[in-house]
Every structure is written in structure tokens, then in C-alpha cells.
Structure 1
């Protein structure tokens, strides 16, 4: 809904990237796929442009205050790293469902958590470790108004 509002307001054009699948069984009467597997590793959930700035991000959910870093896959880390090298902005939006709170986690933080895990450290990050200034609120009829946090990230770069 947020991306649709951004598009109609001419603020951003961000699209959901479908995960490629390979159908195995198709019910011929309904033409529905009844069995499939992921055909290839996908990149991230969303890619687009915000006022001329390329963005890519993944959406994650966490039921507790601890998010396992393994829920971000190596191919996603590599894609976001390459995206940043091309002057794009990469991040995740994480929803802490027990708190009913959304946060923007910039790639610089994600890669720090990833490297810590790869170097034998903690294999997760906690709610307390993320930048509380990057909380995402609903605003102006946009349920997850993440453009404001992108602006905060740009100002800190």
C-alpha cells in the first residue's frame, strides 16, 4: 500500500520483485500450481527509485526482539553490496510484530551484523542494537512511510 501511495503521489516508483518459481504440478481443471520450487535465488523484495535515487530493500518480520542474521541470505547481502557500489541505497524494513513497530535498517548496519556473525560473533541482532531514530511510522495515509527514514539515512552518509 505504501508503494502504491508513493507512486500515485509521484514520490517514488518501487516495485515488488516476484520470486521465480518452477512449477512441478499444475491442476489442469483450475490451472493452479499445486507444487513448485524456487527456480533461482532472488535478489531482494523491492527495487525502485525515490526522487532519482535507486533503492533496493527486503522486508522482514520478527516475532521477538532478536532477529537471526541467517534470515538475510548471502546472495541478498552481495546484491545489496553491489547496489550500494552503484550509488544506490540498500536496507531492510523489519517489523517487530510483538511490538507492532517497523524499523529501517541501513546496509551499513546490516553488513556490520553480517560480518560479526561471519567472524564468530553473535549470529543475530537485537531490537536494542538498531538505530531507534530509524523507526518508521504511518503518516499522511501511508501505512509504512519509509521515505522519511531514507532521508535520515542520506543525511548521515
Structure 2
């Protein structure tokens, strides 16, 4: 079992806050967003307790969340960063491909990035994430910094939603017109 501070629990606090926010959005009829579980293949199951004791990831996961906001398809991933530099290796190529294909189908893709040391959260539109990604693939920096983040996309707590990302989603949509 993972213990506090290990890789196994990274992101769980942010995901809990997002899950709570998504529940508030659902209750108020604003959005229907679901957490996508990571598919696993059980290897050993304790017959007495019927708990999985050994498993491995069955396939590559896409993104953490998918759903619709007022008829607009959205998908996003939740990421945490202790320092002020976010390594792009924390986003997998298959996730970038999925988000890009999702956008081509008329959806909106993004990440919610929490700089834990600064206690600040940001909505990072896919188009910006793709710029960072391509820069790294073309021999440039394989990370992006806090300084590069558009601070107008900062996410705040509002109306009981801990990670009130809908305003930033609207800002993203407005910038596409």
C-alpha cells in the first residue's frame, strides 16, 4: 500500500478537490464530468477478502476526466507540481494524442495544474500545452515553468467549487472565436 509522500498518492488531494467540484457542477446542472478509472488487470486475488493483492496496468489510460459542460465535450488531466518547473515527461504521448484527437472532434482539452509549493492552480489550454510539447520534441526545453503560465488562467475557489475551472473554460472558448 502506498504511504503519504510516495508516488502512489501524488495528485490524490487535487483529484479529491476536482471530484468535489464536479459533484457541485452536477448538482447545479452545469456539467457532467466523470473521473476515468485507470484500467488494471488483476493477477492475484485474496479468496477470503476478495481483494486484489497484485495487479498491473492493463492498458494506457487516456485522461483523468471526461464529460460535457452545457453540451460542450471536455476532457482534462489533473497534474501537480512541487517546484515551479513542470516536466513534460509527466504527460504521456498517448495522452497528448488523445487530447489532440478530442479537439479535432470539436471537444475542449486542457490540464489543471496545481503548483503545490505556491498553492496556485491553473487551467492550461491544450493549444498552449501542445506548444510546450512540440518545443521539447524539437530539441528545446522538455518542461515549462511557472513564469510561462498565463496567470489570467488561474483557478480560484468559488460558489463552493474548490477548483472552479468553468470560468477558465469559458475564457478558453472565447479565445477560440
Same fold (TM over 0.5): yes
Q: Mapping of 1:2-151 within 5 angstroms?
A: 2-151=21-170
Matches of 2:116 and 2:46, distance apart in 1: 35
Matches of 1:7 and 1:138, distance apart in 2: 17
List runs of 5+ in structure 2 lacking aligned partners: 1-19
- Alignment length, in residue pairs? 157
- Structure 1 residue ranges, 4+ long, deviating more than 4 angstroms after superposition: none
Aligned residue number for residue 11 of structure 2: none
Matches of 1:156 and 1:29, distance apart in 2: 56
Matches of 1:129 and 1:24, distance apart in 2: 43
Deviation at 1:31, TM superposition (A): 1.2
Matches of 2:167 and 2:40, distance apart in 1: 34
Q: Deviations over 1:65-110 (max 9, x none)?
A: 0000011000000000000001100000011100111100000011
Deviation at 1:26, TM superposition (A): 1.3
Deviation at 1:29, TM superposition (A): 1.7
Q: Which moved more, 1:25-34 or 1:108-117?
A: 25-34
3-state SS of paired residue (1:137): strand
List runs of 5+ in structure 1 lacking aligned partners: none
Deviation at 1:32, TM superposition (A): 1.1
Cα RMSD, aligned residues only:
0.6
Deviation at 1:30, TM superposition (A): 1.4
